[in-house]
Amino acid sequence: MTSSEYRGFISKLIEIARTRWDEKALADAFELVKAYDEQSRFEVFDADGGEVRIGTLEGDALRAHDYSMRIRRLCEEMLASGRCEYISTLLDIELESLFFDAPYDFDAFCRYAESEREERNQFYLRRWGV
C-alpha cells in the first residue's frame, strides 16, 4: 500500500469514528497507523563510524505519530462523553497509542509510565490535572 493510500484510509476511519462514535473504526485506524509507521521507518548510517540511528521521525513516520495523537484525543473525547459501548476497547487503544508515541513524546512516555500505578502513587498525571 502506498503512503497516500494509508493516509486516505486512516483519515476515513478516523472520520467514521468521530461521526458515529465507533470504537471499532478507531481500533482499525490505529492498526493502520502502526502499519503505516512500520512501512515508513528508516535507518541513517553515520559515514564516519558506521553507527545506526534508528527512530528519527521525518515525513511519513512523523505523520503516523500525528495520527496516533489524533486517535488518542478522540478516544479521550469518546470516553468523556460516556456514549461509548466498549469503554475497555477505548482504554486499550489509548494505552497502545501512548506506548506507540512514548519514544518520541515525553508526555506520552510519562502518561504510559503512570498507567499501571495506583492513583495515590502517580506523580505526573496529578500535576497534569487528570
Q: What is the DSSP letter of 119?
A: G
pLDDT at 72: 92
pLDDT exceeds 50 at position 44: no
Q: What is the dihedral of CA 62, 65, 70, 71, to 10 degrees?
A: 150
| pLDDT (tens digit per residue) in 68-81 | 999 999 998 888 88
| pLDDT (tens digit per residue) in 12-23 | 999 998 888 888
CA angle 53/57/62 to nearest 5° reads 160
68: its cell numbers: 496516533
| pLDDT (tens digit per residue) in 80-120 | 887 777 888 888 999 999 999 998 888 889 888 888 878 77
Q: Residue 44: helix, strand or coil by DSSP?
A: strand
The residue extents of the domains of the chain are 3-105
Residue 130 and residue 128: Cα distance in Å, rounded?
A: 6
Quote the pTM value.
0.77
Q: pLDDT: is 67 or 128 the higher one?
A: 67
Q: In 1-130, where does DSSP find H-type helix?
A: 3-20, 23-40, 59-81, 87-101, 106-114, 124-128
pLDDT exceeds 70 at position 11: yes
- Label residue 45 by pLDDT band (50, 70, 90): very low
